[in-house]
Structure 1
Amino acid sequence: MIEVKDLYKEFSGIPVLKGVSTTFEKGKTSMIIGQSGSGKTVFLKCLLGLHIPEKGEICFDGRKHTELTIKTKRQLRKEIGMVFQGGALYDSLTVEENIMFPLKMFTKNSYSEMLNRVNFVLDRVNLVNANKKFPAEISGGMQKRVAIARAIVMNPKYLFCDEPNSGLDPNTATLIDNLIQEITKEYDMITVINSHDMNSVMEIGEKIVFLKDGVKAWEGTNKEIFKTENEAIVNFVYSSNLFRKVREAYLNETNQ
């Protein structure tokens, strides 16, 4: 479990996170949502250790991040997989070399052992025989799958994703959503996704944390969103007429 307790973060004296507390559990896809400027990207970067909060605590399975030594922080880093918004693949490296990069950095495995692991995760994301292709030679959806393969190659306990569906068509976005959820359950990982995509939220949001102006304004599941009377989350999620109609239909059906 990741436990976040009373997290505060500010920049140049301006508060961005104002006492956020929540938890993220194993085997669940958890979503961080909110408008631009709500603090969700800063929150994700705090979880990753890229920002140090002024106040509060982040615990990874009981390990307080602020109390970790350089050695234990390095060990924690090995347990974290990250899928960046743009994929962040190295253009000059092949698919195989991109995925192998963390193994070269963090392990002393032989080349054959690393290659076996690369091929295993490529098979898991349905990209068999893509080893020698360069990022420019594959589609955006395939690049995201390579990014996911690289993120899980170290068999992480924690998976963080920043807008994994950014720039993808709806069908490919759904495939990526399903893949992330399947892998989360298969590896019993703690997965936290920063997303603007309300389709993703509704499909795989087993836990949703809604940030507004640096405060946790609501949290719940994608099922509970349909029933909530919280004005902030209703206005945010159901600004689309389609989602509003879906909610109305759901409420009408449950009230019958």
Structure 2
Amino acid sequence: MVEVKEIHKSFGDIKVLKGISTTFEKGKTNLIIGQSGSGKTVFLKCLLGLFTPEQGTISYDGKVYSELSADDKRELRAEMGMVFQGSALFDSMTIAENVMFPLRMFTKQSKSEMEDRVDFVLKRVNLADAHKKKPSEASGGMQKRVAIARAIVNNPKYLFCDEPNSGLDPKTAIVIDNLIQEITQEYNITTMINSHDMNSVMEIGQKIVFLKDGLKAWEGSNETIFKTDNETVTDFVYSSELMKKVRQMYLEEKQ
């Protein structure tokens, strides 16, 4: 579990995060949503340890990040996996080499041990025969699956995903959503996903934190979000006519 208590983050005179508190549960897909400028990207970077909040604490299974030694922080980072918005694969490396990169950085495994682990995670994301391909030879959906394989190769406790469906067609986006949720539950990972994709919210949003102007405006699940009368949330979630119809159908079905 990741627990956030009253974190504040500013850049100069601009206050981006203004006292956010929440928890992200193990074995669940936890989504962070909000409009552009709401603070969700800065929030995710604070969770990753890339930004240091001026106030408040972030705890990982009871370990307060700001109180850890440099060595302990390095150990914690080795337990984190990251799926970047643009996949962020190394063009000069093969897919297998990309996936192996965190093992080279954080472990002392032998080459054969690393190769076995790479084989395992590539099979897990249905890319068993893609080892020798370069990222440029892979489709957008394949590149996302490679990014997920790389993120889980070190058997992380915490998985961070920044807009994992960005640039994907709707069908492929659903495949990626389902894969992230399956892996989260299968390995009991604490997964945090930055997203603006309402399909993702409705499909895999077991815990949703909605940010607005640097504040937590609402939190709940993909079931309770239909029931909320919080206008800030409903204005964001049901901005399209399609989503308004989906909500109305849901409410009528529950009556």
TM over 0.5: yes
CA shift digits 1:127-159 (9 cap, x unpaired): 011000000001000000000000000000000
In structure 1, the partner of 2:219 is 219
In the alignment, the residues of structure 1 paired with residue 98 and residue 67 of structure 2 have an alpha-carbon distance, to the nearest angstrom, of: 32
1:69 is matched with: 69
Q: Which amino acid aligns with 1:86?
A: G
Aligned to 1:8: 8
Query: 2: CA distance between counterparts of 1:193 and 1:27?
Result: 13
2:158 is aligned with what amino acid? Y
Which residue does the alignment assign to 1:138? 138
Inter-partner Cα distance in structure 1 for 2:249 and 2:126:
36
Structure 1 spans left out of the alignment, 5+ residues: none
Alignment partner of 1:246 is 2:246: yes
5 Å matches for 1:1-256?
Answer: 1-255=1-255
Which 4+ residue blocks in structure 1 deviate beyond 3 angstroms?
Answer: none
In 2: Cα distance, 1:102 partner to 1:253 partner: 47
2: CA distance, partners of 1:174 / 1:229: 28
Cα deviation digits, residues 89-126 of structure 1 (max 9, x gap): 00000000000001011111110000000000000000
Q: Secondary structure at the match of 1:87?
A: coil
Q: How many residues align?
A: 255
Distance (whole Å) between structure 1 residues aligned to residue 117 and residue 211 of structure 2: 37
Deviation at 1:215, TM superposition (A): 0.4
Task: Give SS of 2:128's match.
Answer: coil
TM-score by length of 2: 0.99
The 2-side partners of 1:214 and 1:77 are apart by 25
Match of 1:176, SS state, is helix
Q: CA deviation at 1:253?
A: 1.9
Q: Which whole-Å deviations, capped at 9, do the CAs of 1:219-249 have from their partners, x for residues lacking one?
A: 0000001100001000000001111011111
TM-score (norm 1): 0.99
Q: Secondary structure at the match of 1:38?
A: coil
SS at match of 1:145: helix
CA distance in 1 between counterparts of 2:100 and 2:249 reads 48
- Aligned partners of 1:238 and 1:129: how far apart in 2? 41
1:173-211 Cα offsets, whole Å, 9 max, x none, are 000000000000000000000001000010000000000
TM-aligned CA deviation for residue 252 of structure 1: 1.6
Shift of 1:46: 0.1
CA drift at 1:254: 1.4
2: CA distance between counterparts of 1:248 and 1:222? 15
- The residue identity in structure 2 corresponding to 1:61 is D
Question: CA–CA distance in 2 between the matches of 1:129 and 1:199?
Answer: 30
* Inter-partner Cα distance in structure 1 for 2:87 and 2:149: 11
Counterpart Cα distance in 2 of 1:143 and 1:205? 23
Post-superposition offset of 1:35: 0.2
d(CA) in 2 for partners of 1:107 and 1:252?
54
Runs of 5+ consecutive residues of structure 2 not aligned to the other structure:
none
| Cα separation, 1, equivalents of 2:74 and 2:40 | 25
Secondary structure, aligned partner of 1:101: helix
